Structure 1
Amino acid sequence: MIRDAIADDAEALAAIYNDAVRNTTAIWNDVEVDAANRIAWMNARQGAGLPVLVLEEAGEVTGYASYGPFRAFDGYRETVEHSVYIRSDRRGGGRGRALMTQLIAFARAEGLHVMVAAIEAGNAASIALHEQLGFRAVGTMPEVGQKFGRWLDLALLQLVLDDRTQP
């Protein structure tokens, strides 16, 4: 079941986030968060009319997805950047695809024009998922990040959400 996140999901979201911080290059942060941080994050997103979706299986939150502004300038107001995270023991099996499909539908319903994915260039599984959903690669930024004592490249992909030729 995919639904809107609620405060009771905060512990699970923090656990998924922290696992990615500790063990992956999906999040380029070194600092873990707590449930209070995730509640504040959810409140800020949802208060701005942005989605925070969770995937619930057998009463457990096993993944989440959201999007926010791509850049903080007026000209980017119809472009968003998203994130999607699946609990490490539940990756694969279409969970990320299910969350992304809902997130894309939400963005289209909101009248947005472009969704951006910024993915560590070595994350072949995430890049493949995005390409299967219609995202196309638009560039790579070499060595713009770092984690685990190495430089990281950032792959940029985008999905055009509608066929408007003018804003």
Structure 2
Amino acid sequence: MHIKYCAFDQHAHEMLDIFNDAILNTTALYEYEPRTMEVMALWFEAKSAGDYPVVGAFDEFGRLMGFASFGKFREQPAFQFTVEHSIYVSSEFRGKGVAMELMKTIIVLASRQGYRSLIGAIDLENIASLRLHQKFGFEEVGIIKSAGYKFERWLDLAFYQLALDI
């Protein structure tokens, strides 16, 4: 496995497949409708404009196994040193350490950019993601009960925070 930066023209199609699988089959994203390539273009533009990295984990054949990024936590200027991250792994590569490698990378990149705090918003049923965050020293800082509604049930959203050393 190797980690490298992702680009719209090279990786958006594979990333879109991973996003849409998460939307349609999991509670990792509180969205109902699959994303389109136009949405991906806007997503990449926003990442570029904010100087937010998009990194992917690739197998020995060059297939995208998963990707990660971070972005604004909130719009107000006082939040400028806090970012919210996300990690998505293709269903065929889950449980193989991909998320661990992506998390390591995201933490380093956020620290290098001078951020003080990394936030993860995680569905409370996503035990694998909760454990991943705990392994890296993230602390649970709050739960919003019934924050979302998907798959005919209410979903609780946990916030996890990692204080970054700069």
Counterpart code for 1:39: A
**2:20 aligned residue:** 18
Q: Which runs of 5+ in 2 are unaligned?
A: none
Do the aligned residues in 1 keep the contact of 2:50 with 2:71 (CA within 8 Å)?
no
2:5 corresponds to? 4
Q: 1:1-167, aligned counterparts within 5 Å?
A: 1-6=2-7, 7-57=9-59, 58-162=61-165
In 1, are the aligned partners of 2:143 and 2:157 still within 8 Å (CA)?
A: yes
Counterpart-to-counterpart distance in 2, 1:19 and 1:67: 20
Q: TM-score, normalised to structure 1's length?
A: 0.94
* Mapped contact 2:85–2:120 kept (Cα < 8 A): yes
Secondary structure at the residue paired with 1:122?
coil
- CA distance in structure 1 between the partners assigned to 2:111 and 2:153 by the alignment: 37
How many positions carry a matched residue from both structures? 163
Unaligned runs of 5+ in 1: none
Q: State, as a whole percentage, how many aligned pairs show the same letter.
A: 37
TM-score normalised by the chain length of structure 2: 0.95
CA-to-partner distance for each residue in 1:99-147, whole Å, 9 max, x for gaps? 0100110000001000001100111110000000110111111001110
Tell me the CA shift for residue 56 of structure 1: 1.2
C-alpha distance in 1 between matches for 2:56 and 2:48: 13
Distance 1:82 1:54 in 2: 14
Aligned equivalents of 1:11 and 1:103: distance in 2? 22
RMSD of equivalent CA atoms: 1.1
> Residue type of the partner of 1:15?
D
Quick one: which amino acid aligns to residue 119 of structure 1? I
Partners of 1:87 and 1:2 in 2: how far apart? 15
Moved over 3 A (4+): none
Contact (CA 8 Å) 2:138, 2:162: kept in 1 or not? yes
Q: How far is 1:40 from its partner?
A: 2.5
